[in-house]
Amino acid sequence: MNRPCVTCICALIALNLAVSAQAPPTRATGDQRRQYVFSPTGQQIPYRVYVPKTWDGKASLPIILMLHGAGANEGTYLDQADGLLMKLAEQHGYIVVSPLGFTPLGAYGNPLRLPAVFGQTAAAASQRAAVTRRASASSI
């Protein structure tokens, strides 16, 4: 390379470093729709995060993790009641994280779907016995 070209490249690198040093990285605030890779399946799984818009990027904030039930998704709680949860998070200074549980049915892909047996002790015991190992007499 000739000397003027090397000088120009060095000047561009120095300018880039000077500009990036002057502008501190900003941290995302507000309602964010993100994804992560669920490693057992390699699938992109969506989640939502709400960070108060007043956050300075330095203060530690409490985090509330919202786990949806079957039939809901990562946006259910954040969208309910005209975004009330986000308004409260903004007002009281906390972060809300709401992931999709692999599918809207939840359970991270677990194929086990037991019918509800609330208040039916015998039926509940029968279902548990069908899917769990019984302790051997020697381990008791």
Could you give the CA distance from residue 117 to residue 31 in angstroms, rounded to a whole number? 38
Could you give the CA distance from residue 22 to residue 24 in angstroms, rounded to a whole number? 6
Could you give the CA distance from residue 140 to residue 134 in angstroms, rounded to a whole number? 11
CB 85 within 8 A of CB 77: yes
Q: How would you class 106 by CB atoms within 10 Å of its CB: exposed for 0-12, middle for 13-18, buried for 19 or more?
A: middle
Class of domain 26-110: alpha beta
Q: What is the pTM of this model?
A: 0.59
CB 78 within 8 A of CB 49: no
CA distances from 119 to 67, 103, 115, 122, 127 (A): 24, 28, 12, 9, 13
Q: What is the pLDDT along the chain (140 residues), one digit of tens a residue?
A: 555 544 444 444 544 544 444 444 557 999 999 999 988 888 898 999 999 999 998 999 999 999 877 677 889 889 999 999 999 999 999 999 999 877 665 555 555 555 666 677 787 777 677 766 655 444 44
